[in-house]
A = this chain, B = another copy of it.
Amino acid sequence: MSDAVSTTLSPTPRSTVGRHRERGATDRAALYDVLDHGLVCHLALVRDGAPVVLPTGYGRIGDTLYVHGSSGARWLREGGVPVCATVTHLDGIVYARSAFHFSMNYRSAVAHGTARLVTAEPERTDALRAIVEHLAPGSWDYTRQPTRRELAATAVLALDLDEASVKIRTGPPADDPEDLSPEVWAGVVPLTSTLGTPRPDPHVPADAPIPPHVTTRTVSGNCP
């Protein structure tokens, strides 16, 4: 994905140092924006020398990203290991006049760090609340809280957002001047994620109203 603006939130070699470094003042806000508007991160770790990348939900509290999963899952029992978490939004397909310049409009955030297994309270419960609230705002207080048994079955990992980068591509194709023939169409096909009409669970009574924290969310239409 070329033609993108890249902002680096920390000056380490593995954070991509891109153009427009003068935009540094807005970097952390851009990171929060990408993370807070996503639903899934792709979390990578190394196992037996090979990378593994899995999709998972997440939540953010300040400068910490939290993920969770079954405490029986190998990849979640491993605190203290290097991880990378990436959140990507696709905003459009960029049709160019040359095959070389086809691209996508997108916003992505990449965070590097060492995963920390979260075992202490109140951080652990705060993290679980953040993960549920990120996925489904208003749901933590509306639903039954986790039991001790459920908490024991859940592993929580934290990734500090110290070392992260944001890349954003917007706008039309970046064709070469000699390709700007009026005969060839070029442009952007926008791509949007939309939340549809809620489908009640079969056990929900037919006349049960959909609660406001669900209806207000889906009214906006956009994700999340």
Which residues of A pack against B, CB within 8 Å?
1-2, 14, 39-40, 42-57, 69-70, 82-86, 88, 90, 93, 95-100, 102, 104, 106, 108, 110, 112, 128-129, 132, 135-136, 139-140, 142-147, 150, 153-154, 172-173, 175, 179-180, 182, 184-205, 208-211, 214, 217-218, 223
The residue on B at minimum CB distance from A193 is B193
Known contacts A95-B139, A98-B143, A208-B182: does B190 contact A191 (CB below 8 Å)? no
CB pair A82–B214 under 8 Å, yes or no, is no
A172: which B residues are within 8 A, CB to CB? 199, 201-202
CB pair A191–B223 under 8 Å, yes or no, is yes
Listed residue (A54, A108, A139, A195) with the most chain B CB atoms within 10 angstroms of its CB = A54
Known contacts A39-B93, A51-B84, A146-B99: does B218 contact A189 (CB below 8 Å)? yes
CB pair A204–B190 under 8 Å, yes or no, is no
Known contacts A143-B98, A192-B193: does B52 contact A44 (CB below 8 Å)? yes
CB pair B217–A201 under 8 Å, yes or no, is no
Complex A-B: 30 CB contacts under 8 Å: A1-B69, A14-B50, A39-B90, A39-B104, A40-B104, A43-B53, A46-B49, A51-B51, A52-B84, A52-B112, A54-B110, A55-B86, A55-B108, A57-B104, A96-B143, A97-B143, A97-B144, A98-B145, A100-B153, A102-B136, A143-B184, A172-B202, A175-B203, A185-B210, A186-B203, A186-B204, A189-B196, A189-B214, A189-B217, A191-B193
Least CB distance, A11 to chain B, in whole angstroms = 16
3 closest Cβ contacts across the A-B interface? A44-B51, A50-B82, A42-B42
Listed residue (A42, A106, A208) with the most chain B CB atoms within 10 angstroms of its CB = A42
- The contact of A211 among B100, B145, B185, by CB within 8 Å, is B185
- The contact of A208 among B56, B154, B185, by CB within 8 Å, is B185
